[in-house]
A and B are shown apart, each in its own frame.
Chain A
């Protein structure tokens, strides 16, 4: 039985919006040109592919349902638990839960346990329940087993990649390649292909290893760290995108209205955003989240499950982050509309008797969209980083939710253990770094392509 959580709904809305935008870009020559120039940059093309991979995981993780309970009777019953399509695909990662900490690729636990034997008490590393359980003599066989699995996974990934490449080549051959226009730069297909190959090989290797080992070890309660960090992708992506989705309507509407109408409208809107902007961001977020705590505490009984409650908190966090971050965009748009309203074509529209709202929609809005786009892409990486910091301060997402911030938060204590438990930190670092880095690369490419002030 499918469930649509609130954040899922907004994500679907966002996807619909992106689809509409892509359709619009394909029909509009100058936008198509600008996006093509994003893709001709190696950084831009590679990061589009890599971010697509992250987005795919986030979307798969957003298709939620109640699993059907296995029951002999005719009555169909659904479990109270909420799973996502990604959870099903992740299979063994989710279900193979050990008892406590274990290192990456380990076949025994991280710390010794006392066992009763006929010879007396001895301290041993207990074997793990799932990881490496298929090996009779793990010490001897493990290295070889891992090598074989890695090679098999890499070959599998390369094979899929080869088929994909063949398919693309064939369709291009059949449809006939479009001759490149004069002065148009080539899209670096080679870099794109290499990125796709790397991603496919990684997926292949991980699927081969996942059933037999914990690639990034396990955490305190024995949950697979790789699974946690993959689940965190959804949280990060949602925070990066929903926040802007929520703030965009306000920022755009208020920004261009203030710039176009000037006078008292401008004064009021400026007062609102200066006031909000004057409060240091973290403190405003803290204040808002604290009062949300009180609200949730007072209405604790109204939420069916922990997941829904965590979901509501995530949505609120996005709203509050949006509230603190819309002011910058609003200010930019106001400045730009102030400039635009003096242009001849707007004066002409006014002279023809076109109404104010219509001028805003038809003439001002399309001409400030490049600023909106640049800001949205630029904000994404900052928001992903902010989530980690906020979760560390306890004003981020719900502690029960998988997020990089929560992982780092627990890793802080784990690092001071002896020997240190480093894998939670490493896993969150690798994935978060990759997401933010690709987002930064993309935002550079987008800014270069869309910002008229950047000289080409």
Chain B
């Protein structure tokens, strides 16, 4: 087990190097720092001096890969590639283009993201599993057919409509909760209720349908028939046999996104003005702050790979038939 985890962690290195090279290519090779500077400085009539000053200020004035002027090891380290890309491996994200420390911002902003993501995940999981189990219990009845149709309808609505509709209905017409904003401590709860409810509702359609398929797959297996044949009640079969076995794919599906919860939800956070990592990313995209986007791409990749590793481990914990070698 330990050996497996170490091996998997080693596998992650070439992937991270690949991601790093890819973002480096996108931001520095496809577009030279010169063009980036011109984009930031705005109009076409900026002078060469202004561009140079901007590059110097943000550390883009070094050569890309190899610095012939520096001596010894510095010829490799005193470059854009080293300062901007290699440093990411030790989670040193550097400063954003507006001069703030990205690592500090991330540590501060991940808590509001988690405050939304964790309750939505747990509530959504419970609600979807309950609804799916109900549909599976009444399978092939009008309730089941109607439920599936409703799921498809819910799935066909863009997340933006849920958010705008929810904000308008609950926040503006009924005036139950503030429309957007954030506060520290327990005061934050009133700002969190609406986004959590909306993300749960948004997930019902696809979640319930997917879990229902899992339950039905499990129901058609032989051991369920055996359980029924020996005279167990349908409820007992569903809760003790079907639910427990169908929970394996459900839980492992959850585990893979657990680390990504830190990243927050881009849309929800920016709509509700919650200062999490999702709105941080969106602001960076809209301000065209490349340093932050690069840092978030790297962080997201690390978390995703971590999620895959956790999934494999949780498989062995949940299903004794699987052994990791």
Instruction: Please give the residue numbers on chain A whose beta carbons come within 8 Å of chain B beta carbons, in ascending order.
Output: 271, 274-276, 278-280, 282-284, 286-288, 290-291, 293-295, 297-298, 381, 385, 388-389, 392-395, 404, 408, 411-412, 415-416, 420, 425, 429, 432-433, 436-437, 440-441, 444
- Distance between Cα atoms of A278 and B15 in the complex (Å): 8
A283 in contact with B293 given A291-B27, A294-B35, A294-B36 (CB within 8 Å): yes
Kindly name the residue among A278, A280, A287, A415 whose own CB sees the greatest number of chain B CB atoms within 10 A: A278
**Is A412 in contact with B30, judged by CB distance below 8 angstroms?**
no
In the complex, given contacts A275-B15, A279-B19, A293-B39, what are 10 additional A-B residue pairs having Cβ atoms less than 8 angstroms apart? A279-B22, A279-B300, A280-B260, A280-B297, A295-B31, A298-B35, A393-B270, A394-B285, A394-B286, A440-B155
CB-contact partner of B158 in A279, A288, A290, A388, under 8 A = A388
Contacts of B36 in A (CB 8 A): 294
Q: Let me know if A274 and B15 touch, CB within 8 A.
A: yes
In the bound complex, residues from chain A placing their C-beta under 8 Å from that of B157 are 429, 433, 436
Tell me, in angstroms, the Cα distance from A179 to B35 when the chains sit together.
69
Judge whether B39 and A294 touch: CB under 8 Å: yes
Q: What separation, in Å, do the CA atoms of A389 and B299 have in the docked complex? A: 22
Closest to B163 in A: A412
B156 close to A437 (CB less than 8 A): yes
CA gap between A167 and B6 in the complex, in Å:
71
A280 to B164, CA, bound (A): 25
Given the known interface contacts A271-B14, A291-B31, the answer about A441 and B152 at a Cβ–Cβ threshold of 8 Å is yes
State the Cβ distance, A437 to closest chain B Cβ, in Å: 4
274-309 of chain B: CB within 8 A of chain A: 281-282, 285-286, 288, 290, 293-294, 296-297, 300-301, 304-305
- Per the bound structure, the CA–CA distance linking A311 and B293 in Å amounts to 25
A-side contacts of B143, CB under 8 Å: none
Q: Which residues of B contact A294 (CB under 8 A)?
A: 31, 35-36, 39
The answer to whether B160 and A389 have CB atoms under 8 Å apart is yes
CB distance from A415 to the nearest CB of B (A): 6
- B152 touching A444 by the CB < 8 A rule? yes
Smallest Cβ distance from A268 to chain B, in angstroms? 11
- CA of A283 to CA of B39 in the docked complex: distance in angstroms? 20
Q: Is the CB of A408 within 8 A of B23?
A: no
CB distance from B245 to the nearest CB of A (A): 18
| B131 interface residue (CB < 8 Å to A) | no
- B18, CB-defined interface residue at 8 Å: yes
Beyond A275-B15, A275-B19, whether A408 also contacts B158 by CB under 8 A is: yes
A397 to B307, CA, bound (A): 32
Q: Is B26 an interface residue (CB 8 A)?
A: yes
CB distance A284 to B297 under 8 Å?
yes
A278 touches B19 (CB 8 A): yes
Is B4 interfacial (CB-CB < 8 Å)? no
Interface size on B, residues (CB 8 A): 47
Q: Which of B168, B300, B304 contacts A415 (CB 8 A)?
A: B168
Q: Does B267 contact A (CB under 8 A)?
A: yes
Is B38 interfacial (CB 8 A cutoff)? yes
A392 touches B267 (CB 8 A): yes
**A271, A283, A388, A436: which contacts B297 (Cβ < 8 A)?**
A283
The digit string for B158-172, where 1 denotes a CB below 8 A from any CB of A, is 111100100110001
Question: Across the interface, do B168 and A275 meet the contact criterion of CB distance under 8 Å?
Answer: no
Mark each residue of chain B from 251 to 287: 1 if its CB lies under 8 Å from any CB of chain A, else 0. 0000000001001001100110000000001100110
Q: Is the CB of A287 within 8 A of B23?
A: yes
Interchain CA distance A275-B298 in the complex, whole Å: 11
Instruction: Tell me how far the C-beta of A120 lies from the nearest C-beta in chain B, rounded to whole angstroms.
Output: 36
Q: Is B153 an interface residue (CB 8 A)?
A: yes
Complex CA distance for A247 and B205, rounded to whole angstroms:
28
Q: Which of B35, B155, B164, B296 contacts A283 (CB 8 A)?
A: B296
Instruction: Answer whether A286 and B293 are a contact pair too, CB < 8 Å, given A271-B15, A440-B156.
Output: yes
List residues of chain B with CB within 8 A of the CB of A283: 281, 293, 296-297, 300
Tell whether, in the assembled complex, residue A290 and residue B285 are in contact, meaning their CB atoms are under 8 Å apart. Answer: yes
- The minimal Cβ–Cβ distance linking A36 to chain B, given in whole angstroms, is 23
Query: Which residue in chain B gives the minimum CB-CB distance to A422?
Result: B168
Interface CB pairs A-B, < 8 A, 6: A275-B22, A283-B300, A286-B293, A297-B35, A415-B172, A432-B158
Among candidates A276, A279, A392, A436, residue contacting B156 with C-beta atoms closer than 8 Å = A436
Q: 5 tightest CB-CB pairs across the interface, nearest first?
A: A275-B18, A280-B300, A437-B156, A294-B31, A436-B156
| Of A279, A393, A404, the contact of B282 (CB 8 Å cutoff) | A393
Within 8 A of A (CB), among B1-53: 14-15, 18-19, 22-23, 26-27, 30-31, 35-36, 38-39
The reply to whether B160 and A388 form a contact with Cβ atoms under 8 Å apart is yes
The listed residue (B38, B263, B266) touching A297 by CB distance below 8 A is B38
B39, B156, B270, B288: most-surrounded residue (chain A CB, <10 A): B156
Q: Quick one: closest B residue to A439, CB to CB?
A: B156
In the complex the two chains form, what is the Cα distance from A328 to B228 in whole Å?
38
Distance in angstroms between the alpha carbons of A193 and B294 in the assembled complex: 54
- Closest residue on chain B to residue A381 by CB atoms: B156
Name the one of A286, A295, A425, A436 contacting B164, with C-beta atoms under 8 angstroms.
Answer: A425
Q: Are A280 and B301 in touch, CB under 8 angstroms? A: yes
Does the CB pair A389–B267 fall under 8 Å?
A: yes
- What residue of chain B has the Cβ atom nearest to residue A274's Cβ? B15
Across the interface, do B26 and A288 meet the contact criterion of CB distance under 8 Å?
yes
- Are A433 and B18 in contact, CB atoms less than 8 angstroms apart? no
Contact A298 B18 (CB under 8 A): no
Please give, as numbers and ranges, the residues of chain B lying within 8 Å of A436 by CB-CB distance: 156-158
Knowing A275-B15, A295-B30, A437-B153, say if A286 contacts B300 (CB, 8 Å): no
In B303-322, the 8 Å CB interface with A consists of 304-305
Q: Considering the chains assembled together, what is the distance between the CA atoms of A311 and B267 in angstroms? A: 26
> Which A-chain residue is minimally distant from B267 (CB atoms)?
A389
Query: CA–CA, A292 to B294, complex, Å?
Result: 15
Shortest B54–chain A CB gap in Å is 14
Q: Which residue of B lies closest to A288 (CB)?
A: B26
